Amino acid sequence: MRAISMLLALSAATLIAGTMLPAPSHAQQRDWALAIHGGAGVAAEGSLSTESRGEIEAVLHRSLAAGEAVLRGGGDSVAAVDAAVRVMEDSPLFNAGRGGAMDETGTVRHDAAIMRGRDHAAGGVAGSTRIRNPIGAARLLMEEGGPVLLAGDGADRYAADRGIDLADALYFQTEARRRALIEQRKRDSRGTDEAHRGDDGEWFGTVGAVAIDREGNLAAATSTGGRTNKVYGRVGDTPLIGAGTYASNQSCAVSATGHGEYFIRWTIARDICARVEHRGETIDAAARSVIDALGRAGGDGAAIAIDTRGDIAFAMNGRGMYRGSVTARQPARVAVYRDEAMK
């Protein structure tokens, strides 16, 4: 009886002590992680000057720092991808926001989307011409829970009605994009597609981010100006959920970049996550398999992805992708060409 009494007393003490344990610290919570891209339109090796590469990498690092500040401070993955993408939208070096590609009318028209993995909430804008940061309008659309996608004047009006920062159409244009439009018109008149591969070093492509926060929630965001000299009214894969942007806490988050028509027809972003969710593939194997198959079908492009464990994948079927990552355990690193190590 004495032994039983001692055992009961010990159990009670243990239970009481357990109820007095402090709440889990951040160190005990799930690690966060963030990956970004600045497009798959990478200039040929040797044609990108050290100065130009340095400028691009500096923006990638600022983008990572913006997202990292959110995640390290306990913020959620949606806020992190939003912050990271905004930095690249504000830079004229990338094909999003200021410095976006010009369509056949000489106008910069933006597509953007964001998706929240825990409940599959999503928002997107297509063909906007006045929204300074299209990803911000996409996020508000997602959070309000109404339409998932607004296009053209409807997207611009939505932003204006809600006090989202707007800009004159000329704000988005740069001299480099004007030159690119002239050159692309010449190529299109000859029936070629060279400019969209970034050979002139001026077409840097879509931007995007994927993240997982301390609560284990995934998010993805993508923003673009589309293709140079694109047909008036053309919408690419970026704002289409499942094509260029996708996030689900059951599998992964993806942001894609490349020849949008192929990404739409093959629902690339969703396909990567479906392989993880239903076939049990690793995020790296799923992303590489899908992007490789896309290349065999004739589609140039790349994708970044992150799974529920915080593992990151960079998959590309061209010569490279402007990209970077930062995690709770690893400092920010960036890379450009396909086979080079992140540093």
Beta bridge partners of 304: 255, 314
Active site residue 206: yes
Sheet holding 312-316, edge to edge: 245-247, 252-258, 301-307, 312-316
Q: What is the DSSP letter of 163?
A: T
Sequence-distant (6+) residues with CB within 8 A of 263 are 236, 237, 243, 244, 256, 269, 294, 299, 301
Place of tokens 């306990």: 74
Catalytic residue among 19, 129, 192, 206: 206
Place of tokens 């996030």: 247
Can you list the positions of beta strands (E) in the chain? 33-37, 110-116, 121-128, 149-151, 207-212, 218-224, 245-247, 252-258, 301-307, 312-316, 320-327, 333-337
Active site residue ranges = 206
